[in-house]
Amino acid sequence: MSESLFYKSATELSSLLQSGALSSVELTRAFIERTQAVEPSVKAFLQQNVEEALAMASESDFRRSRGQSLGPLDGIPVAIKDVISVKGASLSCGSRMLSHFVSPYDAHAAELLKAAGAVLWGRLNMDEFAMGSSTENSAFQTTSNPWNTDCIPGGSSGGSAAAVAAGESPLTLGTDTGGSIRQPAALCGVVGLKPTYGLVSRYGMVAYASSLEQIGPFGRTVADVAMLLQAIAGHDRRDSTSYKVDIPDYTAALQAPAKKWRLGIPKEYFAEGLDPEVRQAVRNAIEFYRAQGCEIVDVSLPHAELAIPVYYIIATAEASSNLARFDGVRYSYRSPNATDVVSLYSKSRGEGFGSEVKRRIILGTYVLSSGYYDAYYLRAQKVRTLIRDDFMKAYEQVDAILTPTSPTPAFKLGERKEDPLSMYLADIYTISANLAGIPGISIPCGFSSENLPLGLQILGKPYDEAGIMAVAHAFEQAHDFHKRYPSL
């Protein structure tokens, strides 16, 4: 396959399929071969379901040959983070706890992808139970950043971002609880979107922090992400927090002429701790929008710096409850050293969970425990209200907010692994969107002097995915950062 094919956007590949210039089997085979060539250095995949993927591709070609195409995604490979259920596929969540688990049913997002004709291609590496910012917490392997294999790809959806960046899959799904889609997208130089809370059903996604997380798309371009979001968004009665909202035509929204948006710049996101090269790249992006006639407005999100403590209290509290189900009884790892029921729980969990997961369970148990609940958990939930109110107030003045996605480019593998607090600070610009429930997208906006990608984050009003994608698309159209590729 020519190199230009596996670095083409999903939108271009979809046109090639629709015109008959390419079959889905040829396309899928090309991505399989590419994956097999670069996986030894990237390690984004936990499982490669070569035969099933080719069978799905063949079915897609058959449908298309009979004029029964299911739409733009029909025949396009989509690889999925190993926390989202696909019937018959592994579902390890990057954990020894579930190393042999096979999903008995499809997640809502997987059902919708199948209904759209997508070729479900492979299972992607992640931080164990989505807890981490570097994918180093996977129990199975360390994924590298395709731009520099000594660096982390970001996390927790590091496999999803690296697979797109390396040309192993044109589209992938990840999950975002505190930045786990946007931060790896930024560090790997691809586009990643966290939808508004409730837009995509969480049914069939293994829960970490239920009030914060969403499934979302990765792609090479904003239009690619729009195409994948279109397929997975929508109400599902099996997720009690799924929201009934009319889903607009996201792709059509991108084709509308760029507007003169009012864009907010929160000063709290440009304070101490921001890498100078990231700052400059984001400043350049702001100047681009200004030059296009957008109104640039200073806004304040005064509680921004409290987002990290609030997040790590609420997320760990929810985790301590959600992960109680992994007790060694019904489906997870069971310790052979147990002597009674309590030791069966404690030993299975002590041996089955990795160190970050245990740390968060302990922390979450502590903040919920008698005598500490009011001081930590209840107070954090109140500050969460203040954080959300800050955004809602800002959105009275502006259409969207521009910030860096990550305070630094990708850091080196191993650099922060032993220092959890410094790892937590990697999420400083992304976490607030999860607490406020608002949508956010990260797009490439430059490169560091060491040729590492830098990301621009665009945060929007609730359910205004179309709006932030339009803002992102306007930048992408005028720049070529998304057309650069790592040399692997």
Partner 1 sequence: MSEAPQIDIDYVARLARVELSPEEKVTYSAQLADILGYFDKLNAVDVDGIEPSAHPFHVVNVWAEDVPGECLPKEEAIRHAAKTKDEQVMVPKVVGDA
Q: How far is the CB of 305 from partner 1 (least distance, A)?
A: 7
- Between 249 and 419, name the residue whose CB sits nearer to partner 1: 419
| Interaction between residue 460 and partner 1 (CB under 8 A) | no
Q: How far is the CB of 387 from partner 1 (least distance, A)?
A: 9
Rg (CA), the chain: 21
Q: Are strands 214-219 and 262-266 parallel, antiparallel or unpaired?
A: unpaired
Which of these, 217, 199, 184, 248, lies nearest to 11 by C-alpha position?
Answer: 217
| Interaction between residue 132 and partner 1 (CB under 8 A) | no
- Give the burial string for 82-118 (b: 16+ CB within 10 Å, else e): bbbbbeebbbbbbbbbbbebebeebbbbbbbbbebbb
Q: Which of residues 113, 152, 380, 443 is near partner 1 by CB under 8 A?
A: 380
d(CA 10, CA 167): 11
Segment contacting partner 1 by CB under 8 A, of 7-15, 24-32, 245-253, 309-317: 309-317
| Interaction between residue 342 and partner 1 (CB under 8 A) | yes
d(CA 13, CA 257): 24
Q: Which of residues 197, 203, 208, 218 is near partner 1 by CB under 8 A?
A: 197
Residues in 86-115 at the binding interface with partner 1, rule: CB under 8 A = 100-102, 104-105
Which of these, 83, 87, 74, 171, lies nearest to 115 by C-alpha position?
Answer: 74
Segment contacting partner 1 by CB under 8 A, of 52-60, 115-123, 224-232, 323-331: 323-331
Q: Which of residues 19, 330, 396, 449 is near partner 1 by CB under 8 A?
A: 330
d(CA 379, CA 262): 33
Q: Position of tokens 């922060």?
A: 416
- Give the burial string for 47-59 (b: 16+ CB within 10 Å, else e): bbbeebbbebbbb
| Interaction between residue 8 and partner 1 (CB under 8 A) | no
Number of residues this chain uses to bind partner 1 (CB under 8 A) = 73
Q: Which of residues 259, 262, 388, 417 is near partner 1 by CB under 8 A?
A: 388
Residues in 48-67 at the binding interface with partner 1, rule: CB under 8 A = none
| Interaction between residue 366 and partner 1 (CB under 8 A) | yes
Alpha helices in 20-141 (DSSP H): 24-42, 50-65, 108-115
Residues in 227-256 at the binding interface with partner 1, rule: CB under 8 A = 237, 240-241, 243
- Using CA atoms, how far residue 314 sits from 7, 117, 177, 384, 431, in Å, is 39, 38, 11, 9, 12
Q: Which of residues 29, 114, 358, 479 is near partner 1 by CB under 8 A?
A: 358
| Interaction between residue 271 and partner 1 (CB under 8 A) | no
Q: Which of residues 113, 313, 315, 431 is near partner 1 by CB under 8 A?
A: 313
**Cβ neighbours of residue 60 closer than 8 Å, sequence gap 6 or more:** 17, 24, 70, 74, 75, 117, 119
| Interaction between residue 477 and partner 1 (CB under 8 A) | no
One symbol per residue from 397 to 436: x for binding partner 1 (CB under 8 A), - otherwise; what is it? -----------------------xx--x---------xxx
Task: State the catalytic residues.
Answer: 81, 156, 180
| Interaction between residue 315 and partner 1 (CB under 8 A) | no
Q: Which of residues 345, 411, 475, 481 is near partner 1 by CB under 8 A?
A: 345
For 379, the enclosing helix (H) or strand (E) is helix 379-394
d(CA 243, CA 69): 29
Task: Count the neighbouring beta carbons within 10 Å of the beta carbon of residue 198.
Answer: 19
DSSP assignment of 291-358: HTTPEEEEE--TTGGGHHHHHHHHHHHHHHHHGGG-SSSSSS---TT--SHHHHHHHHHHHHS-HHHH
- Between 104 and 414, name the residue whose CB sits nearer to partner 1: 104
- Between 153 and 437, name the residue whose CB sits nearer to partner 1: 437
- Between 162 and 319, name the residue whose CB sits nearer to partner 1: 319
Q: Which of residues 131, 222, 282, 310 is near partner 1 by CB under 8 A?
A: 310
| Interaction between residue 320 and partner 1 (CB under 8 A) | yes
Q: Which two tokens stand for residue 347?
A: 């030993």
Question: In degrees to the nearest 10, what's the CA dihedral of 66, 221, 232, 168?
Answer: 70
Segment contacting partner 1 by CB under 8 A, of 215-223, 247-255, 319-327, 439-447: 319-327
Q: Which of residues 48, 142, 284, 343 is near partner 1 by CB under 8 A?
A: 343
One symbol per residue from 149 to 188: x for binding partner 1 (CB under 8 A), - otherwise; what is it? ----------------------------------------
Q: Position of tokens 């592994």?
A: 90
